[in-house]
């Protein structure tokens, strides 16, 4: 597979990663769903995808445990693992405790640790960011990021940092929900060289079933889902993290890399939704 390479901080990551929301929740008594999830993640790594996104909130930590199982046997330095701290764990000591618990479940350090959602009390955000800076010094995490922060809050958070920069903002972004484009967030992050991680990029599968996008993909030999993902990673600083639940979906997602829509077809894709 010809990989698209993007940058988060100083690290190279694949333009399409693997998201684990909804993985590690309710499972069958024989743990078959867990095994399927682990095998799917392993398959993605074997295809060359090196970015895996998870969170302590997903499956109450079980998603992190499954990621930990999936990465066993692979070169850790070649992978880029993202996790997140839930707002109830914001604060100096509680954020540190949450990060250490996530690292234990993963069985490894965390490459990028995000504040999962903003809270109204900015002092709590600031305190948490400063705690994460200390975790970078300790080597538990390597980079700091945020999630679901609008442009104003993102800038304010940047100004609050003492030692390190914020290298990523993970937000909902898809062909159907293009608010990062219209709000100025995408342009700002592009100018600053900061990664925008797009979650729910296929709108829970609905864009994969879009006949208009499928028609655009035909000359490229690509599916509607691949067109929808390629629309996003067309931007130099955007990484997409569709759910990695099944092998066939991961293989299709990987096929969104290694090529680009023309400017004309990209504009047509906007009109499909």
Please report, rounded to a whole number, the percentage of residues in the chain having pLDDT higher than 70.
96
Q: How much is the pLDDT for 22?
A: 83
Q: What is the pLDDT of residues 3-35, one digit of tens each?
A: 699 999 999 999 999 999 988 655 555 567 889
d(CA 121, CA 250): 38
Do residues 174 and 142 make contact, with C-beta atoms less than 8 angstroms apart? no
d(CA 193, CA 114): 17
Q: How much is the pLDDT for 31?
A: 65
Q: How much is the pLDDT for 29?
A: 53
Q: Which residue has the tokens 């901080």?
A: 9
Our answer to whether residue 58 is catalytic in this structure is yes
Do residues 217 and 259 make contact, with C-beta atoms less than 8 angstroms apart? no
- For the chain, how many residues are written? 273
Question: How many structural domains comprise the chain?
Answer: 1
Q: How much is the pLDDT for 37?
A: 92
Please report, rounded to a whole number, the percentage of residues in the chain having pLDDT higher than 90.
93
Least confident of 58-62, 84-88, 97-101, 267-271: 58-62
Query: Does residue 9 fall inside a structural domain?
Result: yes
Q: What is the pLDDT of residues 57-89, one digit of tens each?
A: 999 999 999 999 999 999 999 999 999 999 999
pTM of the model: 0.95
Asked whether the CA dihedral 193, 152, 186, 22 is positive or negative, the reply is positive
Query: Does residue 46 fall inside a structural domain?
Result: yes
Written as one string, the DSSP assignment of 51-84 is EEE--TTGGGGHHHHHHHHHTTTS-GGG-EEEEE
Q: What is the DSSP letter of 30?
A: T
Query: Does residue 212 fall inside a structural domain?
Result: no
Q: How much is the pLDDT for 75?
A: 98
pLDDT mean over 134-158: 98
Q: How much is the pLDDT for 30?
A: 53
Q: How much is the pLDDT for 249?
A: 94
Spatial CA neighbour of 152 closest among 113, 114, 116, 125: 125
Q: Which of 58, 143, 173, 231 is catalytic?
A: 58
For residue 248, how many other CB atoms are within 10 A of its CB?
10
CATH code at 111? 3.20.20.100
Query: Does residue 273 fall inside a structural domain?
Result: no
Least confident of 20-34, 97-111, 146-160, 233-247: 20-34
Q: What is the pLDDT of residues 189-203, one digit of tens each?
A: 999 999 999 999 999
Query: Does residue 195 fall inside a structural domain?
Result: yes
Query: Does residue 209 fall inside a structural domain?
Result: no
Q: How much is the pLDDT for 78?
A: 97
Query: Does residue 244 fall inside a structural domain?
Result: yes
Do residues 79 and 50 make contact, with C-beta atoms less than 8 angstroms apart? yes
pLDDT mean over 109-132: 98
- Quote the Cα angle for 204-205-207, to 5°: 110
Residue-number span of the structural domain to which 151 is assigned: 5-203+232-259
d(CA 106, CA 100): 10
């Amino acid at each position: 597979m010809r990989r698209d390479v993007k940058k988060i901080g100083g690290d190279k990551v694949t333009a399409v990663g693997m998201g684990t929301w909804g993985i590690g929740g309710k499972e069958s008594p024989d743990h078959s769903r867990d095994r399927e999830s682990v095998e799917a993640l392993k398959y993605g790594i074997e295809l060359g995808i090196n970015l895996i996104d998870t969170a302590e909130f997903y499956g109450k930590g079980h998603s992190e445990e499954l990621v930990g199982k999936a990465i066993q046997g692979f070169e850790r330095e070649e992978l880029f693992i993202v996790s997140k701290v839930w707002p109830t764990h914001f604060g100096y000591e509680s954020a540190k405790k949450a990060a250490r618990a996530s690292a234990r479940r993963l069985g490894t350090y965390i490459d990028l640790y995000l504040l999962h959602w903003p809270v109204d009390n900015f002092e709590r955000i600031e305190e948490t960011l400063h705690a994460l800076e200390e975790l970078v010094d300790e080597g538990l995490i390597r980079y700091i990021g945020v999630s679901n922060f609008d442009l104003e809050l993102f800038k304010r958070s940047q100004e609050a940092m003492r030692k390190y920069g914020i290298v990523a903002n993970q937000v909902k972004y898809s062909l159907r929900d293009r608010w990062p484009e219209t709000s100025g967030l995408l342009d700002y992050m592009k100018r600053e060289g900061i990664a925008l991680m797009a979650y729910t990029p296929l709108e829970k599968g609905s864009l994969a079933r879009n006949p208009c996008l499928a028609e655009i993909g035909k000359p490229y030999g690509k599916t509607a889902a691949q067109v929808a993902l390629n629309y996003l990673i067309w931007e130099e600083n955007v990484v997409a993290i569709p759910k990695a639940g099944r092998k066939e979906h991961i293989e299709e997602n990987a096929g969104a890399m290694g090529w680009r829509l023309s400017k004309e077809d990209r504009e047509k894709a906007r009109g499909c939704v």
